[in-house]
Amino acid sequence: MIGFVFPGQGTVRIGMGGWLRRDPAGAAVLARADELLPEPVSELCARGPLDKLVDTAHAQPAVTACNLAALAVLGGRGVEPDIVAGHSVGEISALCAAGVLDVDTALRLVADRARLMADLPDTGGMTAVLGLTPQRVEELSAEAARPGEPLVVGLENAPDHTVVSGATGAVDRLVALATAAGARKVVALKVSNAFHSPLMAGALDGWAEAVRATPMRPPRVPVVPNATAEPTTDLPTIVDALIAQLTARVRWTETMRVLADAETLVEVGDSKVLAGLLRGVGARCVSMADPAAVRRLRRPEPAA
């Protein structure tokens, strides 16, 4: 069994997609992205400027374009998935890999998501807490929150790697509480708002409208949505989970445990972040950031 996992916005960087532009299949997808997206991404990925690239309006389409270019490279080698998942905005790429969306539709949908989120007022932030369990971070988040200043666990990335998301004041209080509780590291994320939190609710109606207006097909393979961490081939369930994901927790640790039984896991994009997280649950993942590793990928022979 082959599992594909797709990285999200936090993996964006200058130089992303470089080797994918040198592959004909990857280059074709990136060229198509430049045609369809409101802002061409190839040059932005290659040279920045960084402050523009990391902006939500550009980062989400840029990461998605690279993910889909990497997916095209694998497709050209005959490597197809048996199960898929994507981290945060990477879920749109996963739906493309499962056949729910085509490339053009995925690019248009991610542009809608990025615009809706970027248009919200900047009232919050996100901070990664390492060295504490998600349960402990959740307790501290409840302590740090105040009326009108929500704070939640936005992402469970690994058993000891949790990201909180919420109002700026609550995040600041959480930093002090987590440090006092013995966190190994507390790191503010370079994001424009509090993703996967109640502060995204202002974009939810527009996002639901965009998702429900998007043509989709039943998946060819199971999808593991962020909001449920349960494999499914039911299209209405996938649609509901994709909408909920905007404000819901990314249950990535549970997702990784679902995927850990795959014979081969591939991080499809130009990133090594998810491969590193998968090592935390004892699973080996090939990163497409390593072109040599990609050349070694083969579809497993069916059992006799």
Q: pLDDT tens for residues 235-274?
A: 999 999 999 999 999 999 999 999 998 889 999 999 999 9
131-136: average pLDDT: 96
User: What number is the average pLDDT over the span 120-130?
Assistant: 93
Same topology for domains 2-120+199-295 and 124-192, yes or no?
Answer: no
pLDDT-above-70 percentage for the chain: 98
Q: Checking DSSP bridges between strand 83-86 and strand 2-6, what pairing results, if any?
A: parallel
**DSSP element (H, E) containing 66:** helix 56-76
Nearest to 231 by CA among 262, 185, 204, 194: 262
58-72, 164-178, 270-284, 285-299: the lowest-pLDDT one: 285-299
Q: So what's the pLDDT on residue 279?
A: 85
**CA-CA distance, 208 to 215, in Å (whole number)?**
13
1 CB-near residues (< 8 Å, 6+ apart): 82, 83, 261, 262, 263, 264, 300
Is residue 291 over pLDDT 90?
no
**CATH superfamily, domain at 124-192:** Malonyl-CoA ACP transacylase, ACP-binding (3.30.70.250)
Rg (C-alpha) for the chain, rounded Å, is 18
The end-to-end CA distance of the chain, in Å, is 15
φ/ψ of 299, rounded to 5, equals -70, 125
Break the chain into its structural domains and give their ranges: 2-120+199-295, 124-192
Distances (CA, A) of 18 to 13, 14, 15, 21: 11, 9, 6, 5
Instruction: Please pick, among 196, 197, 271, 287, the residue that the annotation labels catalytic.
Output: 196
Interaxial angle between packed helices 168-180 and 134-144, expressed in degrees from 0 to 180 and rounded to the nearest 10: 130
Q: How many CB atoms lie within 10 A of CB 177?
A: 18
Identify the sign of the CA torsion 215, 108, 60, 8: positive
- Backbone torsions φ then ψ of 124, nearest 5 degrees: -150, -170
**Cα dihedral sign for 23, 26, 29, 30?**
negative
88 given a catalytic annotation: yes
Give the per-residue pLDDT at 258: 94
CA pair distance 265, 273, nearest whole angstrom:
13
Q: Which CATH number fits domain 2-120+199-295: 3.40.366.10, 3.20.20.140, 3.40.50.1980, 3.40.50.300?
A: 3.40.366.10
Task: Give the pTM.
Answer: 0.95
Catalytic residue among 42, 58, 87, 88: 88
